[in-house]
Amino acid sequence: MAKTARRWSQRVTRESDALDLKKGVFTWRDPKRIAASLKRSAQRSRRRKADPFRSALSMLTFYLNRAGKNLPAGRRKTLMRAKDEVRRQFGRAPARKQTRSRRRTRSR
């Protein structure tokens, strides 16, 4: 498989046509700063296909999903808090928290 075919997600993150993200935005430690930067980028973009809220949240979710198991727990926690902060900054209700009884469990 060609290198470019394997690394399409890296290219999307780097060259996304929807948002012009600040370099290293997903490596910042402050969820409020990450959310503010995503919101600013989404609102300024004229190339996005969806509303600013969906564009900002989609880019964050895309990064989380592509990082997968390689993302350290602390980093994932910060980015999940950034998702809630994006919702807050756009005036949307935060996502419901899963309770232990509702979480999926693996069957053995």
Q: Which long-range contacts (CB under 8 A, 24 or more apart) does 102-106 make?
A: none
In a domain, 33, yes or no: yes
- Token representation of residue 97: 């928290």
CB of 17 within 8 A of CB of 67?
no
Q: How many domains does the chain have?
A: 1
Report how far residue 2's alpha carbon sits from residue 22's, in angstroms, rounded to the nearest whole number: 28
32: nearest Cα among 75, 74, 78, 63: 78
- If 0-12 CB within 10 Å is exposed, 13-18 middle and 19+ buried, where does residue 81 land? middle
Q: What is the residue range of 77's domain?
A: 11-93
Tens digit of each residue's pLDDT, the chain (108 residues): 555 556 666 676 666 665 678 888 888 999 999 999 999 988 988 877 889 999 899 889 988 988 888 889 999 999 999 999 999 999 987 777 655 555 555 565
This model's pTM is above 0.85 = no
Strands (E), 2-108: none
Listing DSSP states for 24-48 in one string gives: TGGG-S-HHHHHHHHHHHHHH-SS-
In a domain, 6, yes or no: no
In a domain, 2, yes or no: no
In a domain, 66, yes or no: yes
